[in-house]
Chains A and B, each alone.
Chain A
């Protein structure tokens, strides 16, 4: 598909990104249908651009990622292929990109979720294209990829410095990643259960817990799952951080991992505190707290972007030949 100059920048960028995403499909499937899929996507993007502008183009991405994840896996399974065997460095690159993409997606989502309060006309569009269940699962996949990359970086670094490696530290790192992965998936999916998605859900949780907004059992269940997931993520990321320091994977003073774990928990805490002070919240009160919780969500997303940048920089270092150790006297 030729990227013609009359296409808007968001359409051109999306087409380029989708070319990369298409690599998830088996080579034979791509060869047969890749160009057609790209052309169809291009038509969809142009139609979305005409109808809703850039927001419409952005809104296509969440269902598109889901569509790709489901069909690429099914197609690989049908062809008897497993996921391609990736080297540690490939995992680190993939996970680094996933962390950055996830962080940027989350910031965009939070900004839109907050903007809806001030531009009610966007509400229908938001609920149509960016419903929580459309955004949560792709984000959960990106988080899992980022965690896999962190573990790949850990093992790659440990292999370069065997003296620093111990089975206990490796077990601690693996447990930490597994716990953090479970927690992040749980909390992300629980967040998605709310109609307003990730940005609003943490307020809903807080207010639900206060029994002031939605006393339904379903809302309470989502809230409990979300907070349990966040707690698991904090514990997991902290365990991995401790193991990483022992193996010198992370530079000293790197608090990004624990911060990435704690940051999401801050939103419900702030909201809970605010509503405790405000009492039964009115609409203005909810909007103010939403802005604060969205800002905390941006902090969380920034942590993941920085972690992603760190992974991409680290894989360059790991590509260098191993230092030759001097023989022991």
Chain B
């Protein structure tokens, strides 16, 4: 659980939801990963944690503290909302709290993805990405 710290974006928790997605950028890795998972639909805490680990080949593992601090701040910033409680049939009969992306959260995730894409393009221009890999050639050619 070498959780990427959510970032001390506590200003969002204290001042209420932001108006412009750009106000919240850059997102911390934990928040961005959670947004990416929730872009696929409603999830409960453990499902978020598991999908983040799977999608990063285990490189990012969120601990319970990082996960729920992130969720708390994302709720306060209006990026996500609760979607009620229900059991997950695949796990057991315990009721779990589900979360889903808000439209504002989706816009913030999109803005962050575009920001990262610009960074990747810049890295490719500076020849920081390994040459000779098929995908990288495409990026160097402006294929993103």
Contact = CB atoms under 8 A, between A and B. Distances in A.
Contacts of A70: 3, 5, 65-66
A37 interface: yes
A309 B63 CA distance: 31
A67 B49 contact: no
A33 interface: yes
A75 B69 contact: yes
B interface secondary structure, majority: helix
A47 B63 CA distance: 14
Given A67-B1, A71-B69, A74-B69, A41 B64 contact: yes
Nearest to B1: A63
Contact of A78 (B10, B45, B50, B66): B10
Interface residues of B, number: 25
Contacts of B66: 67, 70-71
A interface secondary structure, majority: helix
A314 interface: no
Contact of B8 (A64, A68, A78): A78
Give the residue among B3, B64, B67 with the most A Cβ atoms within 10 A: B64
B8 A71 contact: no
Interface string A33-74: 100110111011001000000000000100110111011101
Contacts of B69: 29, 71, 74-75
Given A29-B69, A74-B69, 19 more contacts: A29-B68, A33-B72, A36-B45, A36-B96, A37-B64, A40-B46, A41-B64, A44-B46, A44-B49, A60-B1, A63-B1, A63-B61, A64-B64, A68-B65, A70-B65, A72-B65, A74-B5, A78-B13, A134-B2
Interface of A: 1-2, 25, 29, 32-33, 36-37, 39-41, 43-44, 47, 60, 63-64, 66-68, 70-72, 74-75, 78, 134
18 contacts: A1-B94, A29-B69, A37-B45, A37-B68, A39-B45, A40-B67, A43-B46, A63-B1, A63-B63, A64-B1, A64-B64, A67-B3, A67-B65, A67-B66, A68-B65, A70-B5, A74-B5, A74-B8
